[in-house]
Structure 1
Amino acid sequence: MRKIRICSSITLLLMLAPVSGAEIRVLTEHLPPFQIDSAGAATGFATDVVRQTFKDAGISYQIEFQSWSRAYQLALRDPNTCIFSISKSKERQALFQWIGELSYNTTAIYGLTSRTDIVLKSLEQAKSYVIAVTRDDVTHHYLLQHGFEEGKNLYVLENVSSMLNVLTSRRQGIDLVIINETILKYRAIESGLTPAEFRKLLVLPDLPLDFHLACSLKTPAAIVARLRSSLQGIKTDGRFDKIVTGWSERLH
């Protein structure tokens, strides 16, 4: 018991101790309902969790919206930089310092409901069509690893905001997109479309979108440790679930 009390005291002291250094740059993209760029104000489920994490950790930060590719490259390169919501694929594990999971989602290939000619039973069959993805997104890297080729059956967008519009207009011959159901619903509403216009064709169980908060390798270890402890504390005391419930109610 004495050992446990000593460890707990050390953890508390680390959390209370001031963190020196520059303000942390927190990068993300507009991806409702996880993070929403609304008239210059950052909102959304994941944003609320990230804000609470930094607040509890006592770390100064500034959230910035960028295209995903730019956010990803900056987080790879720059010190005092974090990024969310980023998927923790095996290939990315050594590239960042991972703070913790913000949400978990399953991913699928979707097409237009009106395209009854498309039937998919495997990812290999999808190579006969053109799939739109966001540059440097985990879906982009995933399809490249599975033999898809840019300019042939892979169309790369700079951001996800135009993905459903590109699909519905069939610009550039786009046939399919990879997305999760929650994002699909919000993107459809934003674009003046309805979720019923899109049909799930193939679930990708080996491509979970387990969104995380992560920081660059050049971000100080003390900041990373404090953020990890803060996020875990939010999950332990029930505030994380409260944020989830609040946003879930808005989805219905």
Structure 2
Amino acid sequence: MIKGRQRFLGALLLLACCPTAGAKPIKVLTEHLPPYQIDTRSGVSGFATEVVRRTFEIAGIPYQIEVQDWSRAYQRTLRQTNTCIYSISKSTERTPLFQWVGALASTITSMYSLKNRPDIQLKTLEDAKKLVTAVTKDDITHHYLLKHGFKEGEQLYLLESVTTMLNVLQGRKDIDLVLINDTILKYRALESGVPLEALQKQMEVTDLPLDFHLACSLTTSTDIVTKLKTSLQQLKDSGEFSQIIAGWADKLK
């Protein structure tokens, strides 16, 4: 009887100290977005992926990363329990839609055209409304331009994935501009076969810095989100976050 009670108390203690033991892995959704997250045959790598992996590992939370088109990842995270997403930009409109774990990176966003389009000379965002800009559906750039009066099917051409963005710009005469992260641009150019020299930066969108974050759905356990926040902050305070940045420094320029 005593031994049975001891085993029972031991099991309770194990559950109390190890709440994630045997727990179903958290779904962590993302898109192929070099150099932040890179989908390869051997798995997902990249600067942000490395940070996210270490954040979950330090927190002791099981996880599973899935790569898919951004719009699908975004919509799934809005709807599903115990689901997180990265690298997602934070905006005033998005703030109440997710539980925000913390920032992973920050970069600049710009409007680009082909260099062989001397007819395009942007000085303000209003100038771009006379043209057609390609953006990824449900990306922060899509939501930003909608907020500033751009209309889908008129001034906006929506893509399911950023992968084909530069090919669309080069191959379709009815697409004039793309709005894209400056760091990502060189990787998209390499993957698409569109040379960087063929592109012209028209203007930086100064009020649209891309602050990439790890975030989770509103129905994800608050205990899990709190642990992830603590873990990410620990990663930064210990200097390991800076070491990860240093390891990717040449690719984050």
TM-score scaled by structure 2?
0.90
Q: 2:21 aligned with 1:23, yes or no?
A: no
* Residue-by-residue CA offset, 1:199-250 (whole Å, 9 max, x unaligned): 1111111111100000001111111011001101111111111111111234
Please list the CA deviations of residues 69-111 of structure 1 after superposition, one character each: whole Å capped at 9, or x if unmatched: 1100110010010000000000010110000000001111111
**Aligned position for 1:73:** 75
SS at match of 1:90: coil
Q: What amino acid does structure 2 have at the position aligned with 1:209?
A: L
Say if 2:147 is the partner of 1:140.
Answer: no
Paired residue secondary structure (2:29): strand
Q: Work out the number of aligned pairs and report it.
A: 236
Match of 1:113 among 112, 115, 120: 115
Q: Is the 8 A contact 1:19 1:223 kept in 2?
A: no
One-letter amino acid matched to 2:238: D
Q: Contact 2:35–2:251 at 8 Å: present in 1 too?
A: no
Partner of 1:3: none
- Note closer, same or farther for the CA distance 1:209–1:40 as it changes in structure 2 (3 Å cut): same
Structure with the greater alpha carbon radius of gyration: 2
**Counterpart among 60, 63, 69 of residue 62 in structure 2:** 60
Work out whether residues 108 and 204 of structure 1, in 8 Å CA contact, stay in contact via their aligned partners in 2: yes
C-alpha separation in 1, matches of 2:160 and 2:252: 27
Distance 1:197 1:19, change over 3 A: farther
Q: Report if the CA contact (8 A) 1:77-1:216 is conserved.
A: yes
Please say if 1:178 is aligned against 2:206.
Answer: no
In 2, Cα distance between equivalents of 1:77 and 1:251: 32
SS of residue matched to 1:94? helix
Residue 251 of structure 1: how far off its partner (Å): 5.7
**2:48 corresponds to 1:46:** yes
Q: What SS does the corresponding residue of 2:93 show, helix, strand or coil?
A: helix
Of 82-91 and 240-249, more deviation after overlay is shown by 240-249
Q: CA offsets, 1:154-176, max 9 Å, x none? A: 000000000001001125x1110
Alpha-carbon contact 1:19-1:222 (below 8 Å) kept? no
SS of the residue aligned with 1:116? coil
Partner of 2:233: 232
Comparing 154-163 and 239-248, the one that deviates more: 239-248
Q: Post-superposition shift, 1:22?
A: 2.2
- One-letter code aligned to 2:169: L
Judge conservation of contact 2:169–2:175 (CA < 8 Å) in 1: yes
- Shift of the alpha carbon at 1:127? 0.5
CA distance in 1, matches of 2:99, 2:223: 12
Deviates more, 1:185-194 or 1:61-70: 185-194
Task: Find the counterpart in structure 1 of residue 204 from structure 2.
Answer: 203
Q: Deviations over 1:100-138 (max 9, x none)?
A: 000001111111112111101110110111000001011
Distance in 2, matches of 1:17 and 1:247, equals 36
- Corresponding position of 1:246: 247
* Structure 1 residue ranges (4+ consecutive) displaced by more than 2 angstroms after TM superposition: 16-22, 249-252
SS of match in other structure, 2:179: strand
CA distance in 2, matches of 1:176, 1:246: 33
Unaligned runs of 5+ in 1: 1-15
Matched AA of 1:129: L
Deviation of residue 181 (structure 1)?
1.3
* Code of the aligned partner of 2:18: P
The letter of the residue matching 2:62 is S
Q: Where does the alignment leave 5 or more consecutive residues of structure 2 unmatched?
A: 1-15
Percent of residue pairs bearing the same amino acid type: 58
Question: d(CA) in 1 for partners of 2:247 and 2:194?
Answer: 25
Q: Aligned partners of 1:17, 1:225: CA distance in 2, in Å?
A: 16
- For the aligned residue pairs, the C-alpha RMSD in angstroms reads 1.4
